[in-house]
Structure 1
Amino acid sequence: MPSIEPPPGFWVRESGHAPLPVTPLTRPFWQHRKWLRVVAGEMGFLFDTLDVQEIGGWLYLRVVPLVDKVGTPPPASLVPDLYTTIPKLRQRVHAGITAVRTDVAGELVCRWRDRWRAELSQRIAALQNVDLEALTDDELAKHYESALALSDDGSQIHFRLWGAVVVALGMFDATCRELLGWDVGRSIELLAGTSTSSTEPALALESVRTEADFAEYVQRFGHRALTYDLADPTLAERPEVLHDLVRDRRAHDPAKARARAGQLLNQVPRSQRFDEDYARALAAYPVREENEVLTISTPLALLRIAALVAGRRLAERGQLDETDDVFFLEVSELLAALRDGDDQRAEARRRRGERAWALANPGPATYGAPAPPLPMDTLPKAARQVNEAFWWALDQIAAPAGNTRTHVTGSVTITGVPASAGKYGGPVRVIRDGNDFDKLRAGDVVVCPVLPPVWSVLLGSAGALVTDQGGPLSHSAIIAREFGIPAVVATGDATSQVRDGQIVTVDGSGGTVHLSTK
């Protein structure tokens, strides 16, 4: 049975990327502690890493302090001494200063465009071109290990780019607040229209006219994981959904978002500081969405396809009860089953039972009490900038849920966080996972827990977007802005407050969703 005793510290359930308990074969993907430690070290963030633990079968996160002790922060008067006397803190402050002085964020973005993107593309192509059915069991095990190495390398690149993006955007937002008096997060409006990878899959549907076009589309865009769990199918495994999306596609003009940003930019008084920070943010912003395909979703899809081939073999030989049981094995058990003929039926059955128990017994949203971060007022300017950017980004990616309902005659209003401007009325379609994709029709308002990057293809048919979670810098918000459709995020529980077919009006500027009760 999964452990239900939380470790010390403040833990938040990871419902954005893992809305359900993860299957055992997916666990190597959740190595955030290793990857975020690298990010924190090179950017100068004043924490050790982001830890991930399964508690009661559900994933929880916590920010691990540099001195990993849980307790009351020291008085503010002692903080300056801590930064100069504790070696770990002193080294990290120096790293933050160096990161700003040498523009580590900009260098990582350049490395993505100049090297990493091509290298990952080549490795992915090589693995996709392998005829898995022709491999021996040992060769299939080696192929899985190669795909796992690709996923591990891709994840580290993904998180390093995440650190670069949040520093570039956070520092630009601070510039806009200080020079222009803007509210927090308004700076993102100046960047809209540049994340073209967000709209590419949906826009490509407009050119699908023949079965040959369709096959080419599936090959190009279908082999991507729809979630962060290997047990969930890719879009290529649901061709009927893609056919529906082709049928219900709507015309979109991706230039509109950039034009609106240009109009706003023309009203901004320019300065050297603004122009330099804007250029850095403009280069970094598209990378947040663009890298995900090569670093996360495609490597996960490669792992899934290899696991399915292995699962079929093991089921045919009686080492598993059924093909999908393969996702309830640990990687070492899968490899042993292929190489040594181990019988894994009992292990898979037990793990299925554990997951069923976890689904029936969801844990709370949090464990423990949050501790405030160390005060940053006394930090050197550069070190303070990168750390303020980090905390700014957390707020913008996962804003506190609005989660309020106002009743007036004939309607109910749900409040969330404004994510993409505009107003739109239409019927609701609640999309909780890939199994719901085929419900979507042109002009529907997509209401979902969160919109992962690969789900962007849905917005080629949608009229508006509403999510339970997210913030102005979440994938959901970025994608909606690129499509130019109204969006409200961080509603808390809109998916349970609306029903399919219900008429709603989404106000993406005001952050409200008006529900008709007639």
Structure 2
Amino acid sequence: MNRPTPSAPTAFEAPGPGTWSVDAAHFPRPVSHFQAEIHPPGITSGFLECARRYGLLIDTLDFRFVNGFAYSSPVPAAEADIPERFTAAEEVFRTKIWREDLERWDRDVKPASIKTHQALLAVDPATLSDDELMTYVDRCRDNLQRMIHQHHSFNLAAILPVGDFMAHVGAWTSLPMGEFLALTRGSAPESAGSFPEMDRLAEEIRHRPDARERLECGQASAEILEQLRHESGSLGEATRAYLGVVGDRLLNSLDTAEPRAIEVPDALVARIRLAVAQPVHRDGAVTEGEVARLREKIPSEYHAQFDELLDEVRLMSRLRDERGFYSDVWAGGVMRRALLAAGERLAAEGRIDAAAHLIEASYEEIQALLRRAGGPGAAELAERARYRKEQRAENAPAELGDPASPPPPMDGLPLEVIRVMTALGTAIQSLGAGPRDQRDSPVIKGIGASPGTYSGRARVIDTIADLGRLEQGDVLITAATTDSFNIVLPLLGAIVTNAGGLLSHAAIVGREYGIPSVVGTRNATARIADGARVTVDGTTGDVRIDAP
């Protein structure tokens, strides 16, 4: 893929016919050459698989990277396939087909994924010969390819029930949708950073005064983790189990070029400290009183349907993030670990400036570099890394290609097809929709994604390395969050993002942990200074910068 150097003017051209929309919610900055190459085929094939199963009138999302930025364009289903799609759509809501997918996920897919990742992590790449390391890198890449496809093959199971719920509730009431979506709280504990392995580790530390003292001793976080990891007995076992679950997941990124959780030890140690001090989930599951209060806002003739739709959303809520946690988020971390090991050898030989720069290469270039048979030079790879660091999705065009046109009318289509497509459209719009930029407003406007009001210190997080600066009670101000950010979420008092909509990751995890969240502000990171005091209203979507 051709890409300009950081200092060169950047031209954006549509990668194909149609309208292409930037995906700033999942990819807030340009991705590495490696990721730009491996990601699109899995998204396209995975989406196609579930589109056929759920009777969509679109075939898939064509997903491409332009100058490293993610763009997508819907591909209509072929006319010859429409009768088959109609038949499939008729069964979706009657059989609640997503329940079959959830059962398959729990019974087969998730356990197999964990087993595969753990088997790859059992290999120490530092002990391999160069030829063995190349074979191992190939295995990790094959796994990542499968996991990207796997993630997106469960897209509709994860988002269609909630899209259907939102479409119906939106027709019944004009109240803020974030309040109704907050009724899912407690349905997806991992989205709130709650892991059995974390609970076990925190309990072990609470009963070991020497371990608590070590956690607060002022040593570097990496040293604290290493000491806990090498403890004998149950404490060491609990530490290794927790780090085994979260340590090799990508942290707040879907790009293999960005760090794993273990590479940001300050964030992990802060999370462990909080778990030791605060053993109980702050808000817990939603109460019947909360449900009843909002049910009263719905016309009474729809109460039974409201309850049924809410039950399905709660049931499927955890799949929204789990399909990433146990698929490409983990596989991407395993891949990064392998490439860093290979990069260290090349850096030691002076062929590249830093081990992580190897991930800036395409896979063909990586193979050439590992064989010492050509490939880009150190300066070129360093330039690619600098480009990714400097550029942001808010500076890329929101759309490329043909001007966006309204979707075709659905008049005359079977009712179940209309319901499927309406649910999908509602969900997709809620993944990344946001209001217009309002630079002159004294209040930063966004989408109220998780209700409540909170005032606290703003911590503007631009890179993964900044996560170590987060302290308990801070208000996170960032471009976007991704699945694995749940590891540090419990530290926060509120979340504010530039990108995203009601079903973006920041919205999901904010509601799950019960903290006010505002998404889709477009420019909060530019307007809010690090350390400023802000008030976040997760109901109205307003963020106010308070006087010092």
Shift of 1:200: 3.2
Residue 478 (1) aligns with residue 511 (2) = no
2:77 aligns to what?
66
> Which of 303, 309, 333 is 1:301 aligned to?
333
5 Å-filtered alignment, 1:226-241, equals 226=251, 227-241=253-267
Shift of 1:99: 3.3
% of aligned pairs identical?
28
- Structure 2 counterpart of 1:52: 63
Q: Does the CA contact (< 8 Å) of 1:311 and 1:322 recur in 2?
A: yes
1:258 lines up with 2:258 in the alignment:
no
- Equivalent position of 2:224 in the other structure: none
Q: 1:210-225 alignment to 2 at 5 Å?
A: 210=211, 211=228, 212=231, 213=235, 215-216=239-240, 217-225=242-250
SS in 2 for 1:370: coil
Alignment-mate amino acid for residue 225 of structure 1: L
Q: 2:29 aligns with which of 20, 41, 60?
A: 20
Separation in 2 of the partners of 1:446 and 1:155?
28
- The 5 A counterparts of 1:28-107 are 28-31=38-41, 32-66=43-77, 86-107=79-100
CA-to-aligned-CA distance 1:235-261 (integer Å, 9 cap, x gap): 202223323444466737537352346
Deviations 1:415-449 (A, max 9, x none): 11111111111111111221111222222111111
Name the SS of the counterpart of 2:346 in structure 1: helix
Structure 1 4/512 Cα, relative in aligned 2: closer, same or farther at 3 Å? closer
Find the residue that maps to 2:312 and give its secondary structure.
helix
CA contact (8 A) 1:319 1:344 kept: no
- Counterparts of residues 336-415 of structure 1 (less than 5 Å): 336-338=368-370, 340-346=371-377, 349-350=379-380, 352-353=382-383, 356=386, 359=390, 363-368=396-401, 369-401=403-435, 403-404=437-438, 412-415=442-445
In structure 1, list runs of 5 or more residues that go unmatched. Answer: 68-85
Superposition deviation, residue 165 in structure 1: 1.9
TM-score (norm 2): 0.82
Q: Secondary structure at the match of 1:48?
A: strand
**Are the aligned partners of 2:248 and 2:260 in contact in 1 as well (CA < 8 Å)?**
yes
Q: Secondary structure at the match of 2:163?
A: helix
Residues 335-376 of structure 1 show CA distances to partners (whole Å, capped at 9, x for unaligned) of 3443x4313243x64354456567569532222311222222
Bigger shift: residues 323-332 or 228-237: 323-332
Match in the other structure for 2:217: none
- For CA contacts below 8 A with separation 6 or more, give which structure has more relative contact order: 2
RMSD over equivalenced CA pairs, Å? 2.9
CA contact (8 A) 2:343 2:354 kept: yes
Instruction: Give the direction of change, closer, same or farther, for the CA distance of 1:404–1:5 in structure 2 (3 Å limit).
Output: closer
C-alpha deviation, 1:303, in angstroms: 0.2
Partner-residue secondary structure (3-state), 1:259: coil
2:452 pairs, out of 419, 422, 429, with: 422
Deviates more, 1:89-98 or 1:351-360: 351-360
In structure 2, runs of 5+ residues without a counterpart are 4-10, 206-210, 212-227
Structure 2 counterpart of 1:63, one-letter code: P
| SS in structure 2 of the partner of residue 258 of structure 1 | coil
Q: Given the superposition, is the C-alpha separation of residues 44 and 357 from structure 1 closer, same or farther in structure 2, using an over 3 Å criterion?
A: same
How many residues matched? Answer: 494
Deviations 1:142-183 (A, max 9, x none): 222222222222222211222112222222334445677876
Counterpart Cα distance in 1 of 2:88 and 2:471 = 50
User: Deviation of residue 321 (structure 1)?
Assistant: 4.7
Amino acid at match of 2:249: R
User: TM-score, normalised on structure 1?
Assistant: 0.86
TM superposition shift of 1:395: 2.0
